Amino acid sequence: MKMEFTLTVFICSALVNWVGQQVALADETPGVADENKTAEVERLRFTVGVRTIFQDSGGDYWFGSHGEGLCRYDGEVFEYFTTKDGLADNHILSIQEDSKGTIWVDTQQGVSRNARNGFVSFAETQQALSPAKWTLSLTGAMQEPWRKSDADLWFSAGTREGVFRYDGQQFRYLPFPHAMSTNSGNAYVVTGFSAGKDNVLWIGTYAGVFGYNGDQLTIINDETLGYSDGDDRVHVRCLLEDSKGRLWIGNNGIGVLLKEGESIVNFSRKHDKLVPIEDFESNSLAQRFSANVGLQSVFAIEEDSQGNIWFGDRDSGAWRYDVDSLVNFTIDEKLESQMIWDIHEDQSQNLLFAMAQGGVYQFNGSAFDRRF
């Protein structure tokens, strides 16, 4: 009996040692890792900022970078695309999907569409075009090229003061009217779009906002707001019409403007979250980064599924407005820059933040975790 017991102990001990060796070997073998280690490795390869986030109808995530192209994540694999794969440019401005499930990418140098083996780009969006034969006047008369339908896709026109509209057949370049001057010296170069109620398409540009409903064109700029030299100056970087029909306009320097009906107020100043513009502009760029702790330079706006409005600031991180309060969040203290390029709520109601440094973070209800 004693010999049988000794043999049993020896066998058990040997088995434990063998299992331990296999576990250690698995940890050291390339490609073998637990889920937590895999999650740490599987992140975006971009070394520059993430400019935009989009989730398509199939659930895949698309990430546009600030100079290194595009990435698609299907839940398992990150797939990267650059000009070598047909993109017009590696600087991605926005991503959208048409009714057929085709992905369209607006770049700094033209429009691209995904194809079987990569992307195809459209030469007409890359050429220096002269103004279209017809333009839209501020009197409200609609000319043929400016017609509007639900199937239209709208794109920026690079450094040109106008837009591209794709009607499913062809691209048309549509220049903005220049009936009004601006005090800011900014051009009417597109910085964003937002679909609104009553068939309105809001088009943000550095120098102001155009609202187009298919018949009439309205404009919000320094002149219509009554701004003059020495006052606030519009410098639009993003915009959003929310579920209540309010138009939020994010500016670099004067914070957020809020349009409700015919009323337009400076939301940042109303909540005492704005450094006086003369003090802000007198600082060097480096000083602005450290001195701006307000809702001053807003580059992203999003509404979440609870109706909260989120703002992404160049210097001061994320802000949440829930009617009763305006709360500021630091995304990650380890990051040298808290700048947010984009905010996107995905199909699972996860709120994602595209950072100028550090990939994509997700809000967990109280803080932020690195997601991609």
Q: Which residue reads 């703002």 in tokens? A: 311
Q: CB neighbours of 79 closer than 8 A, spacing ≥ 6?
A: 71, 72, 73
Q: Give the torsion through C-alpha atoms of 297, 109, 96, 47, to 10 deg.
A: -60
DSSP one-letter code for 252: B
Query: pLDDT category, 274, cuts 50, 70, 90?
Result: confident
Q: Indicate the length of the chain as a whole number.
A: 372
Say whether 86 sits in a helix, a strand or coil: coil
Structure tokens at 347: 């199909």
Residue 341's pLDDT is 98
Provide φ and ψ at 321, rounded to 5°: -115, 120
- Cβ atoms of 212 and 174 within 8 Å: the answer is no
Per-residue pLDDT at 22 exceeds 70: no
CA angle (115, 154, 222) in 5-degree steps? 145
Structure tokens at 295: 């809702």
Domain 235-372 = CATH 2.130.10.10: yes
Q: Per mean pLDDT, which range of 37-51, 57-71, 80-94, 309-323 is the poorest?
A: 37-51
Q: Using one digit for the tens of pLDDT, what is the confidence trace for 162-220?
A: 999 998 888 989 888 765 555 555 789 999 999 999 999 999 999 999 999 888 888 99
**Domain ranges in the chain?**
235-372
- Cβ atoms of 317 and 304 within 8 Å: the answer is no
Average pLDDT of the residues of the chain:
83
Residue 266's pLDDT is 96
Residue 36's pLDDT is 39
Cα 111 to Cα 106: distance, rounded to the nearest angstrom: 5
Per-residue pLDDT at 35 exceeds 70: no
Q: Which residue reads 């199937």 in tokens? A: 151
SS3 content of the chain, % helix, strand, coil (to 5): 15, 35, 45
Instruction: Give the pLDDT mean for 50-60.
Output: 97
Per-residue pLDDT at 364 exceeds 90: yes
- Cβ atoms of 183 and 223 within 8 Å: the answer is yes
Cα 31 to Cα 137: distance, rounded to the nearest angstrom: 61
Q: Per mean pLDDT, which range of 137-141, 151-155, 364-368 is the poorest?
A: 137-141
Q: Give the torsion through C-alpha atoms of 147, 94, 74, 68, to 10 deg.
A: 140
What is the residue-wise DSSP string for 103-130? EEEEETTEEEEEETTEEEE-GGGTS-PP
